């Protein structure tokens, strides 16, 4: 099964990787605006459409007063179909900071269910890792930052970065993991128990991921 690609309302420059034939595309409300410029046809359109301002033909319409954001509606739909990897565009650089934070929690929602998700913005890619490891090649450049989500993250190891850590502990109450740097070595970020929000320069693409 391919990836679940979700287009949300905020701006982004371009796709981080080509769409494959078995990928599943969801337009979440204002994400519908991106489809024409990208030359994509959605498999599903859903949301409350307060951002888009009209209801597209064939859309699944939800009330404005609801518990789920439009991005969360799309994530739930993808999970119900069995997808395990999610690329979420237009959910990182919008005018609504509260929606950006909500999307961080959406990444945690995916991690809690054994799936992986990425918020892809103009300059950054963001993911949540839970009890797992991600790796970057030695060609990676720029800044990598990580933040504890929820309870303390234990067994945190950072290797091949400017500021290494071995079997450490990070707290949600202190931003110790901000502004680390790639240094030309293969890099590895691991957490044995807990969740980390990890963000890096988009030019580095996607890491290798291992549970």
Is residue 158 pLDDT above 90, yes or no? Answer: yes
**In terms of domains, do 74 and 163 share one?**
no
The pLDDT of residue 211 is 75
Both tokens of residue 200?
A: 């890096």
Number of Cβ within a 10 Å radius of residue 152: 13
The pLDDT of residue 59 is 87
**Cα(187)–Cα(194) distance, integer angstroms:** 20
Give the residue from 86, 105, 122 where a domain finishes: 122
**In terms of domains, do 71 and 15 share one?**
yes
CATH of residue 101's domain is: 3.40.50.10240
**In terms of domains, do 66 and 170 share one?**
no
Contact 188, 159 (CB under 8 A): yes
**In terms of domains, do 63 and 140 share one?**
no
Assign residue 53 a region: left if phi > 0, alpha if psi is -120 to 50, beta otherwise? left
**Cα(99)–Cα(151) distance, integer angstroms:** 22
pTM: 0.94
Per-residue pLDDT band at 51 (split at 50, 70, 90): confident
The pLDDT of residue 54 is 83
Kindly state whether residue 172 falls inside one of the protein's structural domains: yes
Give the residue from 74, 93, 122 where a domain finishes: 122
Q: For 14-23, 50-59, 85-94, 202-211, which range has the lowest pLDDT when averaged over its residues?
A: 50-59
Q: What is the 3-state secondary structure of 90-113?
A: CCCCCCCHHHHHHHHHHHHHHHHC
Both tokens of residue 26?
A: 């969801």
Count of domains observed in the chain: 2
- Over the stretch 131-140, which tens digit does the pLDDT of each residue have? 999 999 999 9
The pLDDT of residue 56 is 86
User: Residue 13, Cα to own-chain centre: how many angstroms?
Assistant: 16
Is residue 125 pLDDT above 90, yes or no? Answer: yes
Per-residue pLDDT band at 53 (split at 50, 70, 90): confident
Compute the average pLDDT of residues 97-124: 96
């Amino acid at each position: 099964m391919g990836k679940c690609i979700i287009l949300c309302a905020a701006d982004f420059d371009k796709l981080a990787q080509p769409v494959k034939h078995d990928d599943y595309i969801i337009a979440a409300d204002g994400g519908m605006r991106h489809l024409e410029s990208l030359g994509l046809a959605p498999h599903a359109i859903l949301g409350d459409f307060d951002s888009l301002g009209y209801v597209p033909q064939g859309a699944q319409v939800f009330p404005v007063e609801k518990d789920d954001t439009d991005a969360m509606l799309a994530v739930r739909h993808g999970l119900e179909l069995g997808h395990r990897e999610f690329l979420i565009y237009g959910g990182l650089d919008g005018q609504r900071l509260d929606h950006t934070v909500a999307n961080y929690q959406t990444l945690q929602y995916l991690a809690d269910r054994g799936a992986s998700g990425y918020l892809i913005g103009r300059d950054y890619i963001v993911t949540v890792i839970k009890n797992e490891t991600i790796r970057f090649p030695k060609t990676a450049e720029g800044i990598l930052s990580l933040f504890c989500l929820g309870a303390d993250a234990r067994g945190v190891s950072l290797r091949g970065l400017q500021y290494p850590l071995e079997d450490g502990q990070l707290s949600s109450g202190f931003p110790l993991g901000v502004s680390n740097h790639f240094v030309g070595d293969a890099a590895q970020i691991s957490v044995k128990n807990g969740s980390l929000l990890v963000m890096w320069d988009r030019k580095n693409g996607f890491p290798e991921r291992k549970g």
